Amino acid sequence: MTLERLVPLAFVGIWSTGFIAARLVAPWSDPLTFLCYRFLLSALVFAMIARAVGASWPRGRAEWTRALLVGILLQSFYLGGVFWAVDRGLPAGVAALVVGLQPLATTLLAISMLNERPDVRQWLGVLIGLVGTVLVLLPGMNTDFGKVDPMPLAAVLIAMLSITLGTIWQKRAGPGLDLRTNAAIQFIGALVVTLPVAMATESMRFDLVWQAWMGLLWSVFGLSVGAISLLLVMIRRGSVSSVASLFYLVPPVVALLSWLLFDETLTLLQAGGMLLAACGVGLAGRRKSSAR
């Protein structure tokens, strides 16, 4: 298997562990406070890596502004919105279902914003992947949607749109930027936006227990340094619709990890959904869409 094929698999595997880390940390820290620590440490790590290798920093205000904006969308609004919504009582299955619309939204917006032209096979892959994701999430969707609080639901919808727009903006604005300094600036932007909200709405609780520290360290080095770096590389090299379709594999991997680690139920319906999601991602990423 070539390195090019390993990168998407590595990204999905690492990204999916974020939900396990969040589950580990949830009893020991306020959600936005945890994200602030993650953003701060991630920015410092990327800055040190950039300094060690002599990476160049953006010189103009426009490049800094673009990188900050992508960080606010990809990190602050996306992660902050999902964490806040779930913390305010939105069922995790509902949040995952809304976020699962991101590949479809990305494909639609990339047509007008990036002039990408997915072919029939890719469209079929996106739709099959969506059906597979719904089947994986269905057993956990015992929710009366009429009783769902509209504010958390709106927050997770904004989060989904934020990661969609952030991915597209990164594709448009980031080709010439060094990925290490670009990532450092993105996490600075995320921290600047998230910290005031955390200070205004939370007690800034972060218990000094091993679960909180393990979750934080993995979130910084595994998710921020590892998964985000892979995501930025894939966005630079491929079409955003193909990259976004990889997110269809996240719920199946999370369900599998939960079955292995927490003895949660894994049904035949979910197994079928996993297979459909994998087929959809395979079709969506089969050929690069033409960008003019």
Give 291's pLDDT tier (boundaries 50, 70, 90): very low
Q: What is the pTM of this model?
A: 0.83
pLDDT tens, position by position, 145-185:
556 678 888 988 999 999 999 888 888 765 667 888 989 99
Pick from 130, 144, 49, 47: which is nearest to 96 by CA? Answer: 130
Structural domain boundaries of the chain? 3-291
Could you report how far apart the first and last alpha carbons of the chain are, in Å? 30
pLDDT tens, position by position, 263-274:
777 788 888 888
**CA distance to 1, 19, 50, 170, 228, per residue, from 54 (Å):** 32, 34, 6, 22, 20
pLDDT for 4 equals 66
Nearest-angstrom CA–CA distance, 19 and 23? 6
Query: 29 — phi, psi (to 5°)?
Result: -155, 145
pLDDT for 141 equals 63
pLDDT greater than 90 at residue 194: yes
Structure tokens belonging to residue 51: 């300094």
pLDDT tens, position by position, 21-56:
887 888 899 999 999 999 999 999 999 999 999 988
pLDDT tens, position by position, 232-289:
888 877 777 778 888 888 888 878 877 887 677 778 888 888 888 888 888 877 654 4
